Amino acid sequence: MRKGFRRVTFVTLLFFLSNFLIAESDNVKALWIVRDDMVSKKLIDAAISFSVDKQFTDIFVQIRGRGDAYYNSNLVPRANLISKNDFDPLAYLINKTKELDLKIHAWFNVYYLWSSPQKPKHKDHLLLTHPEWIDTYTPDRMDVNGMLKKMKVNRTINGEGFYLAPTHPEVEAHLQNVITELLQNYRLDGIHFDYIRFHDSKSGMNPIGLKLFLNYNNSLPGLPSLELNEIPSFSDFKRSSITNFIKKASLRIRAYQPNCIISAAVKPNLIDAINVFHQEWDEWLIGGYIDWAILMNYTSSTKNFKKNIKITRDNLPKKYLNNILMGIGVYNQNYKSASEKINITTKNEFAGYSLFSYTVFKQNMNYIKKLQQLQEN
């Protein structure tokens, strides 16, 4: 476990000296738009029209879902769902909104690679070309074909699916190159990182990453994997692998596009985020690596919603509360419950909120109508 939530590392101080200032925002009203609505001009037009009509200020539009691209890329295989081979969804979206008062954030799933028991159709998908990059629960290379067969019998045997290993140096190099290509080809209002975490507390046993850790810890050779996960230094190693990635990505983004807002969708309970998922998003804010932490506080329980907020307020310096957006689920609760959570968010001096997701409103337009009526009263 980390020694205290409020420590400020030497690296953090150096980052402040680089003159990168955290963007402060007020009254952000954002919406997540899942990749299914990025596959044709008609669907994108509908999402834009809805967002403008309902007065959202920012939209997080998924352009990388399961190791595929909803934009033109030489590094990432094209998503199979896109309707036409010559269609660039992200370029179309940016062009259609350039005269609108609506900020476009490219929603980028970082480590989550694949969730289906079926193989990717594209032969260049990383699951097929680089199985050695996949994270594991044992110090053995992932048997992709064997796991896919098991998933056909039991879909959840591999949890959410396949994750890239944050501890593998080639994974980081590849992802940084993907980010660079994106920045070189598209002018963005923001980049939104999602799944920037480990699968869970027991993952992180990729053999290459494990070897890298043991090389720096010569006193721990031959330690069984189950015991290794209990060692504090290994947890620190896993946390630092992700923090170092976000730090380097942040420097890269600010070099190419200084005004680009950097955000991350994070686990809403800060203690669990740090100790279970090795996602120390408080350090990312304090270090200036991200501008917004967007807490995925999707619970329908008002009690749990408030609990996550209390943990945040108790452990994060007050000056950073204005860099918090509260993620609110609309897929698992009625409009009255969602409205209550928006009101709680507003009272807590956060920068704003983001609703998950547009898909719900598209299927039930009456939901957003009633939600807005409550907010206006």
Domains of the chain: 10-376 (3.20.20.80)
Q: Bridge partners of 262?
A: 191
Q: Which amino acid is at 291?
A: D
The span from the first CA to the last CA of the chain, in angstroms, equals 45
SS3 78: strand
CB atoms within 10 A of CB 71: 23
Return phi, psi of residue 201, to 5°: -70, -25
Alpha-carbon distances, residue 242 vs 80, 197, 247, 300, 375 (angstroms): 29, 7, 9, 29, 38
**Pairing mode of beta strands 261-266, 112-114:** unpaired
Residue by residue, what is the 3-state secondary structure of 299-331?
Answer: CCCHHHHHHHHHHHHHHCCHHHHHHEEEEEECC
d(CA 179, CA 172): 11
Annotate 145-210 with DSSP letters as a single string. HHHHHHHHH-TTTTTT-EEB-TT-HHHHHHHHHHHHHHHHH---SEEEEES-S-SSTT----HHHH
DSSP state of 134: B
Per-residue pLDDT of the chain in tens (377 residues, 90 and over written 9): 554 333 334 344 334 333 344 444 569 999 999 999 999 999 999 999 999 999 999 999 999 999 999 999 999 999 999 988 899 999 999 999 999 999 999 999 999 999 999 999 999 999 999 999 999 999 999 999 999 999 999 999 999 999 999 999 999 999 999 999 999 999 999 999 999 999 999 999 999 999 999 876 655 545 545 456 666 689 999 999 999 999 999 999 999 999 999 999 999 999 999 999 999 999 999 999 999 999 999 999 999 999 999 999 999 999 999 999 999 999 999 999 999 999 999 999 899 999 999 999 999 999 999 999 999 98
Structural tokens at position 297: 């506080």
The whole-angstrom separation of Cα 134 and Cα 206 is 7
Q: What are phi and psi of 95, to 5 degrees?
A: -65, -40
CB 312 within 8 A of CB 326: no
16: tokens are 């402040």
